[in-house]
Amino acid sequence: MLLVKTYLGKSKIHGLGVFADEFIRKGTKIWCFAEGFDRCYTPKQFARLPKAAREFIRYHGYRVDGEILLTIDNDRHMNHSENANTYLRSGYAIARHNIRKGEEITNDYREFDAAFCASFLKKPQAK
């Protein structure tokens, strides 16, 4: 769950994005998994869900340590950036630098789901 005030807005990266609705100081904990609020599925649990639920989770969720995580709040709209303004440490997303009010908050998906992120990685230029 997000631990700071945010709002959804049009992203220059992709579709909707998560934007800071307050100034966030470098080192601030921005997000953590909140048991009972956010949801984690084993592959077996995920497979038993109705098709519509699986499709929703495929779009909004991601894999972490072999399980499928679905965050319930605006976090599920956080976009990838190779120069993300957050990083993961000890179960938290933390502000890498000061984040201005109105700035899009981003993750580097490679930190938690490298396979999903493969489509975001830049391919080497042919010489």
pTM, rounded to two decimals: 0.83
Q: Where are the alpha helices (DSSP H) in the chain?
A: 43-48, 51-60, 114-117
Residue at 126 is within a domain: no
CATH classification of the domain holding 36: 2.170.270.10
**Sign of the C-alpha dihedral computed for residues 63, 65, 70 and 72 taken in this order:** negative
pLDDT of residue 58: 87
Contact assessment for residue 75 and residue 104, using Cβ atoms and an 8 Å cutoff = no
The pLDDT score that the predictor gives to residue 51 is 96
Residue 125 lies in a domain: no
Whether residue 1 lies inside any domain: the answer is no
Q: How many domains does the chain have?
A: 1
Separation between Cα atoms, residue 97 and residue 51, nearest integer Å: 40
pLDDT tens sequence across 68-113: 889 999 999 999 898 999 999 998 999 999 999 999 999 988 887 6
Segments forming the whole domain that contains residue 15: 6-120
List, for residues 31-74, the tens digit of each pLDDT value: 999 999 999 999 999 999 999 999 999 888 888 878 888 999 99
> Can you give the pLDDT at residue 103?
98
Do 38 and 72 meet the contact criterion of CB atoms below 8 Å apart? yes
> Does 103 map to a domain?
yes
